[in-house]
Chain A
């Protein structure tokens, strides 16, 4: 056992996935099942769930209670916020962003989706593709989650029939053509009984594909990061003020795209000045190369004025630069968007301001229809808008690089984050 652990853990990858759904879809049961079967639920947690289940009195142990952390959630039996859950198998460590599924929680789904490599979409086999399925798939597409796993759940309630699975799969494929999604997998499961979750189902011998856990462990995610276009937003400047590092200036940040090598020629934006990488530092040692998503410090051959918010790139694959930017937004605030209003903007390590120039259209998340008449953008609305920023922004389209193409809008009087934006 000790060999597995100490050798194996250096070989584990991190996978983040999001689930959206309501109590009825069996989402919490599915998560509970994954945690329970992979032995991530501990005895004292189980006891606490058993205690709470006996309070609500429905006899069965309710695994949903495991994911509903806040007092109000347990009392009302609903998930309000994004909850993060963790489990690991010998192959991967998983972070689940567990979100509620109803339309009034669209903003929570968007939040959970923003960091995910994989979206799990749950469909009740008895109901097939419904409005909510489309909404969840649309959010996964809007946030550009690279992989979607559609779990067709409650197969036990349709007698484990292949036809039920195939017909739902066809329906989903039809809606997928309207969306920007590339990798979709389908698994017939019963979260309650465990079929095809961790162990293969004996009830569905007609299904020859992998189980859900096998997919989660093996989906190829290393290529999801852009390793071509080099992007290094400067986060902080390190000046040691120590005798031995007297002239050292390290530009600290996280690589958001591409690979940097010692000796590479680089360009700094917005100044346009050029230099060469003198060292790439990661604590007490220099490295020859570094790549996304590593956090490092770069030092350069030349003494140039560089500060937080600047972007260091190599001279290939330039980002776009503009003050007039079109974005898709999800509105997070109960106070509606003000057309012509000014907001603070955070984009990579940059702080700036913008004015809302135009609302192009609003999207009905249940039908995907574009509405160009209604310009009123309120809580949970998704819309395409145009903004003008106080200074030029260096960015990539969100499709090309999620980190370089995302921003948030902040209300200047309350300081609340009021919108998530994806640059088109």
Chain B
């Protein structure tokens, strides 16, 4: 790059995301940022800190806790919140179950992934958030490829993919009626590779789960799942120790691991570049059907 006034693709994506996050604070009265402890929300949170520095970020984070999280993720989350003096709100899927609003799935493939939607929408309503920022990326999944930066939700929290507001240049229309809210996706244009490169570039700490480690796992229909109290075993399944790492971090019941020796960010980037399977390829929740994500998103999923 010879021209003096040029920035690389990561800096351009960063500038775009910071613009979007600042736009949220300017256009909404009571926004929040959804935080899962996964790499996408970690990067989004880092961008938010950059957007308002030296002030603290002017909104709380909200974590929808399935109760099936990896302990490493929770420890990482709590330390990060403390170090950055950030306000975190946690809402529990267990509470929605106890209130009888949702029913826990049973059987070996039971997952609380889908149940999160109810807890999330209840949290948004209870705390009167008019906007929730999420770390969704368009390259993740084909229904997400059609998502706007500013995504309008009706009073039931639903997404109408066929009736989305056109989004031009960098002008975002966050106008809404009472009871409606927005989901905003500041890192829409990032790919998995961009996220990893940026973590390396900015030297952002991430949970240890992303690096290679030994863990008791089971393999089910080609997906490697962490063995643990939340994953019910089939009769013929015996947990075994393998050297693995996680490409995405979510609920223990549906987050697939990959066999890997990548122990540094550089090695992870190399592995991501060489791999031929999308990161959601390991997600048990997406394998349920061709349009699984589209259906969940319409209902109000992340």
**Which of the segments A147-155, A190-198, A366-374, A405-413 contacts the partner chain?**
A405-413
The answer to whether B191 and A86 touch across the interface, beta carbons within 8 angstroms, is yes
The docked-state distance in angstroms from the alpha carbon of A44 to that of B276 is 8
The answer to whether B168 and A110 touch across the interface, beta carbons within 8 angstroms, is yes
The answer to whether B166 and A332 touch across the interface, beta carbons within 8 angstroms, is yes
Q: Which of A5, A115, A295 contacts B14 (CB 8 A)?
A: A295
Contacting residues, chain A, for B56 (C-beta < 8 A): 240, 242
Q: How far is the CB of A325 from chain B (nearest CB, A)?
A: 16
The answer to whether B176 and A415 touch across the interface, beta carbons within 8 angstroms, is yes
The answer to whether A107 and B143 touch across the interface, beta carbons within 8 angstroms, is no
The answer to whether A11 and B171 touch across the interface, beta carbons within 8 angstroms, is no
Given known contacts A45-B278, A239-B55, is B161 in contact with A294 (CB within 8 Å)? no
Instruction: Give the nearest-CB partner of A248 in chain B.
Output: B54
Residue B11 CB within 8 A of the other chain: yes
Q: Which of B5, B278, B294 contacts A70 (CB 8 A)?
A: B294
The answer to whether B173 and A83 touch across the interface, beta carbons within 8 angstroms, is no
Q: How many A-B residue pairs have CB under 8 A?
A: 205
How many chain B residues touch A (CB < 8 A): the figure is 71
Contacting residues, chain A, for B168 (C-beta < 8 A): 110-111, 114-115, 406, 408, 417, 420
Contacting residues, chain A, for B291 (C-beta < 8 A): 71
The answer to whether A1 and B273 touch across the interface, beta carbons within 8 angstroms, is yes
Instruction: Give the nearest-CB partner of A284 in chain B.
Output: B53
Q: How far is the CB of A242 from chain B (nearest CB, A)?
A: 7
Instruction: Give the nearest-CB partner of A44 in chain B.
Output: B281
- CB-CB contacts of B245-287 with A at 8 A, as 1s and 0s? 0000000000000000000001101100111111001000000
Residue B288 CB within 8 A of the other chain: no
Instruction: Give the nearest-CB partner of B142 in chain A.
Output: A69
Given known contacts A81-B146, A81-B161, A235-B22, is B169 in contact with A12 (CB within 8 Å)? no
The docked-state distance in angstroms from the alpha carbon of A84 to that of B191 is 11
Contacting residues, chain A, for B138 (C-beta < 8 A): 84, 86
Contacting residues, chain A, for B274 (C-beta < 8 A): 1
Instruction: Give the nearest-CB partner of A332 in chain B.
Output: B166
The docked-state distance in angstroms from the alpha carbon of A410 to that of B167 is 12
Given known contacts A88-B193, A294-B11, is B276 in contact with A417 (CB within 8 Å)? no
Residue of B13, B161, B168, B267 contacting most chain A CB atoms (<10 Å) = B168
The answer to whether A236 and B26 touch across the interface, beta carbons within 8 angstroms, is yes
The docked-state distance in angstroms from the alpha carbon of A238 to that of B16 is 18
Chain A, range 33-78, C-beta contacts under 8 Å to B: 39, 42-45, 48, 51-52, 66-72, 74
Contacting residues, chain B, for A308 (C-beta < 8 A): 26
**Which of the segments B95-103, B120-128, B194-202 contacts the partner chain?**
B194-202
How many chain A residues touch B (CB < 8 A): the figure is 89
Q: How far is the CB of A104 from chain B (nearest CB, A)?
A: 14
The answer to whether A254 and B269 touch across the interface, beta carbons within 8 angstroms, is no
Contacting residues, chain A, for B189 (C-beta < 8 A): 84, 86, 95
The answer to whether B278 and A5 touch across the interface, beta carbons within 8 angstroms, is no
Q: How far is the CB of B150 from chain A (nearest CB, A)?
A: 10
Residue of A2, A88, A348 contacting most chain B CB atoms (<10 Å) = A2
Residue B15 CB within 8 A of the other chain: yes
Residue A318 CB within 8 A of the other chain: no
Contacting residues, chain A, for B194 (C-beta < 8 A): 93
Residue B50 CB within 8 A of the other chain: yes
Q: How far is the CB of A416 from chain B (nearest CB, A)?
A: 6
Q: How far is the CB of B287 from chain A (nearest CB, A)?
A: 9
Contacting residues, chain B, for A294 (C-beta < 8 A): 7, 11, 15
Q: How far is the CB of B72 from chain A (nearest CB, A)?
A: 26
Instruction: Give the nearest-CB partner of B24 in chain A.
Output: A236
The docked-state distance in angstroms from the alpha carbon of A254 to that of B18 is 9
The docked-state distance in angstroms from the alpha carbon of A410 to that of B168 is 13
Q: How far is the CB of A257 from chain B (nearest CB, A)?
A: 11
Q: How far is the CB of A179 from chain B (nearest CB, A)?
A: 20
The answer to whether A114 and B169 touch across the interface, beta carbons within 8 angstroms, is yes
Residue A85 CB within 8 A of the other chain: yes
Q: Which of B49, B54, B166 contacts A242 (CB 8 A)?
A: B54
The answer to whether B22 and A408 touch across the interface, beta carbons within 8 angstroms, is no
Residue A82 CB within 8 A of the other chain: yes
Residue B12 CB within 8 A of the other chain: yes
Contacting residues, chain B, for A13 (C-beta < 8 A): 1, 6, 8-9
Interface residues of A (CB under 8 A from B): 1-2, 5-6, 9-14, 39, 42-45, 48, 51-52, 66-72, 74, 80-86, 88, 92-93, 95, 107-108, 110-111, 114-115, 222-223, 225, 227, 235-236, 238-242, 244-245, 248, 250, 252-254, 259, 281-284, 291-295, 297, 308, 332, 344, 346-349, 402-403, 406-408, 410, 415-417, 420
Known contacts A236-B26, A281-B54, A415-B175; 6 further A-B pairs (Cβ under 8 A): A5-B266, A9-B8, A69-B146, A111-B166, A115-B169, A236-B25
| A–B pairs, 13, beta carbons within 8 Å | A5-B273, A10-B201, A12-B9, A13-B9, A70-B143, A74-B290, A81-B164, A95-B189, A111-B166, A240-B55, A245-B54, A293-B12, A295-B51
